[in-house]
Structure formats: C-alpha cells, structure tokens
A and B are shown apart, each in its own frame.
Chain A
Amino acid sequence: MSEKNTRYRKIEIPARAGVGLKAQHYRDVLEGAPDIGFFEIHAENYMGAGGPPHAYLSAIREFYPLSLHGVGLSIGSHGALDKDHLARLKAIESRYEPGLFSEHLAWSTHDTAYYNDLLPVPYDRETLARVCDHIDEVQDTLGRRMLLENPSTYVAFEQSTMSELDFLREIVRRTGCGLLLDVNNVYVSAVNHETSPEDYLDSFPVEHVGEIHLGGHAPDIDDEGRPLLIDAHDRAVDNAVWGLYDRLLQRAGALPTLIEWDNDVPQWAVLAGEAAAAERMLAGVAQGTTVHAATA
C-alpha cells in the first residue's frame, strides 16, 4: 500500500453500461471481476490522503475504465471556487487518469459553508457568466474538457430569463465543455415543473453528450397536492425513465450510461442487473448509429 508510482493509461469510457462504485461492493468487484463497462466514483469520497478507499480504488482501476464525477465543486456558486477543493480534485485526476470528468449545474457552498446538496441556479445572464467562468477555471486546472450535468430541480426562480436548454447550450458554446445527460433528472424536473420530458429530450443538444445517467427517484407531493419527484438515487430506475432512455438512444445512438444508486445501496447483483438492462438497450442501437465525439 505504500505509494506505488503507478501511472494508469487513460482509458476512454466505452459506450457501455457502468455503475457508481460503492464501498459496499469493493469486494464483489475485486473477487467477482464482473463484466461492467466502467465504474464511476464521487471525487469527494477519495479526498483523503490514503487508506482503504485508495487501496481498493487502485486495485479496481487496474481492471476497469474509470469516470470521475464531482458532487461538491459548486460550479453554480456566485462565490469563487474553493481552491483547496480544486487542488484535491486535480490530485485525484492526476492519480487515476479517469476517462472523463463531470460535475453538476448546481451550487452547494456559500461563504465557505458546504451544504452537501445540489442546489438550483436561476437561468439568467449573471449566473450564466459566473458558471462559464467557473467551468473555464476547472477545465484550465484539470487540463481537460469536462461534462456538465443537467440538474433535477424542485423550485423555479422568478428571475430566470432563459430555458434550461438554452442555458446549457450557451454554456457549451462559451466554454467548449460537454454535457452529461441525466435522464432521471430530465424526468424529475419535467414532472416537478409540469413540462414535457419528451420535448426536452428531443431538443437536447445530443451532439455534445459524453455520458448518460440513469437513477431512481422517490415520489412525493407539493403544497398544491401535485406530484413532486425527489432525485433520491435510492431505488431502481423507474419505467418512465427507461422509456425516455430508449427514446434518447434512438436519436443519439449508444453512449456511456451510468446507473446511479447512492442510498439504500442494494446487493451487487441487483445493481449489476440494472446495468445489464441498460446494456441490452445499448446493444440494440449500437449498430449503424451516429458517432459521438463528446467523450472528453
């Protein structure tokens, strides 16, 4: 476990199904050597200097492509990015050479306090400029293109002047970043804002998408008794989301697809079953589809 000077060859993330790597499954993965397209880690779980998380991740990284997903960078903050956090992110990126890096269109830090949730941003010119500055800084620091993930949201802002899609398109145009399309987030936000998830997906700029996320959501109701979906990542992917995924694949072709299951984490076999379901759908569209340049 002493510092091995391993340099991993950066492996592109294949257009297959991957799963979010959970500590509960380290042994299943190392002992069972499952046929999984890639693993994705939350950068924040590997920000310690050493110990078991790095030991297991290093062992798993020997055999699988790795995707790095940040949850705490707070790209949507008005305030400056946390330089220490960015430095730790860079250290993980250099150590593991992930095939891609993604973060959220959200904020989680204010005045040095970290709130551990993906908070929504208004879609206006001021926020757009801020987000683009932060993405430029991340891409400059990491020396690579990043993917920005569409959020799931529960509230709207009176001050928004643009649609979410126009906001994302403009970010891509200004920064050159790619997009991570979370289909569960599309569905959750569409239900919560009473819009059409099909319309959103059909006009999503898929030519910039480098990865897809699928995850489970929890049903609730709002103040008016209307459905409110919570992006809980605590259960299997909903049928409605599988349907949207199928629709997306028909238009976009096969893309790396991640199953996210972060709470009430199930047995490995259940998670692997979700990945296998995605993989079957990917196999159905893999032949003769459009080629994507977006896997950063």
Chain B
Amino acid sequence: MPRLPDLQAAFSAALTDPDAAVPEGVTAPRGGRADKRFAVYRNNVTVSLVGALEDTFPAIARLLGDEYFTALAREYVRAKRPSSPFLAEYGEDFGDFLDAFPPLAGYPYLGDVARLEHAWLSAYHAADAAPLDPARLTAISESDVGDVRFTLHPALRMVQSRWPILQLFEANRTGEGKPPADLSSGGESVLVTRPVLDVTLSRLAPGASYFLNALAEGSTLGAAAGKAFENASEFDLAQALQAALAAGAFADIRMPD
C-alpha cells in the first residue's frame, strides 16, 4: 500500500501523462476498474489549465484558431504546470514556448504577441497607484529638471518587437476578426500602462524604451535622455516625456538631494 507521499507523487505524475496507468491503490467502489474515473481528474486538470491559457492569450487563440490553440496549449500544460494557484501568473513563458515550437517557425511574431498579452494581464493585476500629475514636473526649475528621478507606475510594462505586435494584438482581440496586420510595417515597441482601471497600450517612439528603462533603473532624467539618444539619434525628449506622462507611466518624482 503506497504511503501518502508516494500516492500523491504517482497520482500527480499520471494527471498530465495520458499514457500513464491509473495509480496503484486507486479504485472504483467495490474495487472495479477506475480508468474513466481517474480520467475525470486528468481531464479537469488539462481542460482548466488550457482554459486559463485561453483567457490569458485570446489574440494567440484567434491567430491560431481554437482547435490549433487547444492542441498547443495541451502541449504546454504537459510541459509546464503552474507554480502557484494564482493563475494570472501562469503562462509567463508561453511566448518562449511559442518561439521554440518548431511547427510555428513560420510565425515568428507569435512569441512577442504572447508576451504582450501576458504583460496586459500583469498590468491588469498590478498594484494601484495614482499617476503622476504632470504639473509636478512643470513646477520644477529648468536648472534642476535634468537631475530629477522618477518612480515608475507599478502597472508599467514594456514589450519590444521586430514585428507590429500592437497591430496584431488589437486586430485579434477586438471582435472584428480582421486578418493579421501587414507584417512589413516594421517593429513596434509597446508601452503597457494602467493609470486607473483600464489597461492602455501605446506605441513607443524610437528611443523611448531606452529612456523609460533607464528611468526604471534609477537614472536621472538627463542621464536617461542621454541613454536614449545613444541608441536612437531621432529620440525626442519632450515628446517622449509628454507621451509617458499622458499614458500614466509614472507614479512619483524625486527631486535631486
């Protein structure tokens, strides 16, 4: 008779392995075969986790079609179980899984679209904070402004891509069923924010992701602008700052010591 740890090890291993036998000691009433009975648990696990992925990645499901998505999600579930009961965190590396899935090699943008969908959900559940009032910045004297630092909003996320992922995301999340966007339209870096309740996506201008990343790491406004210019000569500081403020990218501002 297996002890509890062995029983649960065998039971859990068989849950995501369709070829595994019913674990020893698991029976129907009066000791009959329990294959179909055990399959109820197996089915519950797979269907509920596939459903969780479908909830998190509706644009991917739409791009691939329900049938293909379900088969793919089953593969993912077999490879990877959630590490916590907070299922909004499940599928964090679904984008990497798509990138590495050989049959999808002809669809190289899927991984980035998945990362954007996960970032959307992560922003949705992120901590609440009031977005920075732009007046706080305009009140700072010109001689000091280069030395201020920002606290980024807790819901801010960024996803960079060589593909037009914002167009792909929007075309496949809204109910209009548009065909995939023109892939030759160039890459998009997307800013994800949630200033109050609604998650908002906006396209980042050239250099803006370097700028915001530098601010996130604690650089001053001046240093972050320098970093952005180094990487994108067309970087427009006033425009980037204005767009970030409007999107609710910041929660607070810190004056030089």
Q: Which residues of A contact B8 (CB under 8 A)?
A: 77-79, 107, 110
Q: Which chain B residue has the least Cβ–Cβ distance from A71?
A: B85
Rounded to whole Å, the gap between the CB of B144 and the closest CB of chain A is 27
Using known A-B contacts A51-B197, A224-B33, determine if residue A117 contacts B48 with beta carbons closer than 8 Å.
yes
List residues of chain B with CB within 8 A of the CB of A112: 83
B125 touches A50 (CB 8 A): yes
> Chain B residues near A292 (CB, 8 Å)?
none
* Complex: chain B residue closest to A194, CB-CB: B29
User: What CA separation (Å) do A130 and B86 show in the bound complex?
Assistant: 24
Q: Choose one: A49, A85, A113, A155; the contact of B37 (CB below 8 Å).
A: A155
Q: Which of B15, B37, B83 has most chain A Cβ within 10 Å?
A: B37
A230 within 8 A of B: yes
Q: Which residues of A contact B28 (CB under 8 A)?
A: 155-156, 222-224
B66 contacts partner chain A, Cβ-Cβ < 8 Å = no
Contact status A51-B128, CB under 8 Å: yes
Assembled-state Cα–Cα distance A48/B124 (Å): 9
> Among B1, B4, B37, which residue has its beta carbon within 8 angstroms of that of A127?
B4
Interchain nearest-CB distance for B214 vs A (Å): 25
Q: How far is the CA of A119 from the CA of B44 in the complex (A)?
A: 10
Q: A78-B4, A114-B84, A230-B40 are in contact. Are A224 and B15 (CB under 8 A)?
A: no
**B205 partner residues in chain A, CB cutoff 8 A:** none
Contact of B3 among A121, A126, A156, A220 (CB under 8 A): A126
| Chain B positions 1-24 with a Cβ under 8 Å from a chain A Cβ | 1-5, 7-9, 11-12, 15
Cβ of A25 within 8 Å of any chain B Cβ, yes or no, is no
Contact, CB under 8 Å: B37 / A50: no
Complex contacts, A82 vs chain B, CB 8 Å? 84-85
| Chain A 37-70 per-residue mask, 1 if CB under 8 angstroms from chain B, else 0 | 0000000100111111111000000000000000
A71: min CB distance to chain B, Å: 7
Are A51 and B41 in contact, with the CB atoms below 8 A? no
B55 CB → nearest A CB, Å: 11
Q: Is the CB of B29 within 8 A of A113?
A: no
**Does A51 lie within 8 Å of B125, measured CB to CB?**
yes
Residues on B with C-beta less than 8 A from A196 are none
Contact with B along A235-269 (1 / 0, CB 8 A): 00000000000000000000000000000000000
Is there an interface contact between A48 and B128, defined as CB atoms closer than 8 Å? Answer: no
Question: Mask for B75-88, Cβ within 8 A of A = 1, else 0?
Answer: 00000011111111
Number of inter-chain CB pairs below 8 Å: 165
Say whether, besides A50-B128, A122-B4, A157 and B84 are in contact (CB < 8 Å): no
A223 to B30, CA, bound (A): 13
Is there contact, CB below 8 Å, between A110 and B9? yes
Knowing A113-B82, A116-B82 touch, does A158 contact B25 (C-beta < 8 A)? yes
Interface string of A185-211 (1 = CB under 8 A from B): 000000011110000000000000000
| Residue on A nearest B127 in the bound complex, by CB | A49
A154 to chain B, nearest CB (A): 4
- Whether B41 and A52, one on each chain, are in contact in the complex, defined by CB atoms closer than 8 angstroms, is no
Give the nearest-CB partner of A74 in chain B: B85
**Are A223 and B33 in contact (CB-based, < 8 A)?**
yes
Given A113-B82, A122-B4: A48 touches B32 (CB 8 Å cut-off): no
* Cross-chain contact B194 with A117 (CB below 8 angstroms): no
Question: With A and B bound together, what is the CA distance between A139 and B1 in angstroms?
Answer: 32
The answer to whether A3 touches B128 (Cβ under 8 A) is yes
The contact of B12 among A113, A158, A228, by CB within 8 Å, is: A113
Q: Is the CB of A224 within 8 A of B32?
A: yes
- A and B contact pairs by CB, cutoff 8 A, 8 listed: A2-B129, A3-B128, A47-B86, A49-B127, A72-B86, A85-B84, A155-B34, A223-B35
Given contacts A47-B86, A52-B197, A115-B15, 7 further A-B contacts (CB under 8 A): A3-B128, A51-B124, A126-B3, A155-B34, A159-B7, A224-B32, A228-B36
Report, nearest first, the 8 A-B pairs whose CB atoms are least far apart.
A72-B85, A48-B125, A50-B128, A113-B81, A49-B127, A110-B12, A47-B86, A117-B44
